[in-house]
Amino acid sequence: MSFKIVVIGTSLGGLSALKIILGNLPADFLVPIAIVQHRHKESNNTLQELLQESSSLPIREVEDKEEILPGHIYLAPADYHLLIEPGHFALSTDEPVSYARPSIDVLFESAADVYTQQVIGVILTGANQDGKQGLKKIKAQGGLTIVQEPTTAESDVMPEAAISAVAVDWILTLSDIASQMVKLCHSSRK
């Protein structure tokens, strides 16, 4: 069983959380990672630059219809929903979901629709409930679900909401999330 994508959702406190996870991934981590980090719609490329300092994998903001490549980390651009379609991404300016655009739910639900049980969904620190429905859908489609241990999150609202809504597969600290991702994705290589 090989995984096609890892989707990560985070909000308040997400930058430092993502730096730890991405910094702990090896340079040969091949499963693409798509990230929704809630941020101000005026925000520029700083998120990409700050995360790139921590990671040996190439990080980029998604452009519409961009192909999904192995070994890359993709960021939802500010003020766009990020959706997954077979083999590529799509961007949308539809209404915000859970007051957010990009919405974690939108990314997670589209990933579950396309890749069903070949998705790993990860919810990190955040101060709202976004991601809960999307994680539920990934689980319902047979994908795997990981949530940051709420007591280690800068804001525990998002992890708590996810845990209350979904029978999560793993509840882990940030460094353990990285090693679990490596374990799952490396063992799935044929």
| Burial class of residue 189 (count of CB atoms within 10 Å of its CB; 0-12, 13-18, 19+) | exposed
Among 54, 55, 130, 155, the one annotated catalytic: 130
90 closest CA partner among 67, 65, 109, 71: 65
Q: How many helices (H) and strands (E) does the chain have?
A: 6, 9
- Phi then psi for residue 87, to 5 deg, are 85, -10
CA–CA separation, 80 and 97 (whole Å): 11
Instruction: Mark whether 38 is an active-site residue.
Output: yes
36 closest CA partner among 71, 81, 93, 90: 81
Instruction: Mark whether 130 is an active-site residue.
Output: yes
Among 38, 72, 103, 105, the one annotated catalytic: 38
- Reduced to 3 states (helix: H, G, I; strand: E, B; else coil), residue 11 is coil
Instruction: Mark whether 43 is an active-site residue.
Output: no
Annotated catalytic residues are 11, 38, 130
